[in-house]
Amino acid sequence: MQFEAAYSALFDALWQESINLAEADLLLPVLQRVFTKSEAEEILEATKTEEVKAGLLRNTEHAWKDLGAFGAPWFWVSDGKGREEAFFGSDRWGYM
């Protein structure tokens, strides 16, 4: 449940409030909508680790090279029953 709340807070901050989530001082208050201050600070600290950076690179390369991702927002959606499909553009949110 916390993942969904965090995703929603980040999505709204980026797409509805035009907050630059690449700036840690702007991202921290958004994370604090869902997490405690210490949890949000821990999350930001984790982004500086080589393990997290390597994971981001792996996931990005997989999305781009293997799944054909392009642009933003771009989503790979699975129904959990074997059906998967890519969606591009915020106007496709309702189809997912």
Query: pLDDT tens track of the chain, all 96 residues?
Result: 899 999 999 999 999 999 999 999 999 999 999 999 999 999 999 999 999 999 999 999 999 999 989 887 888 889 999 999 888 876 666 766
Tell if the pTM clears 0.85, that is, is over it. Answer: no
Q: What element of type H or E holds 50?
A: helix 50-61
Peptide bond into 29 cis (omega under 30): no
Distance, in Å, from the CA atom of 80 to the CA atom of 78, rounded to the nearest integer, reads 5
List the chain domain ranges: 1-48, 50-96
In this prediction, residue 12 carries a pLDDT of: 95
Give the model's pLDDT for residue 74. 84
pLDDT at 96: 62
Structure tokens at 66: 């293997």
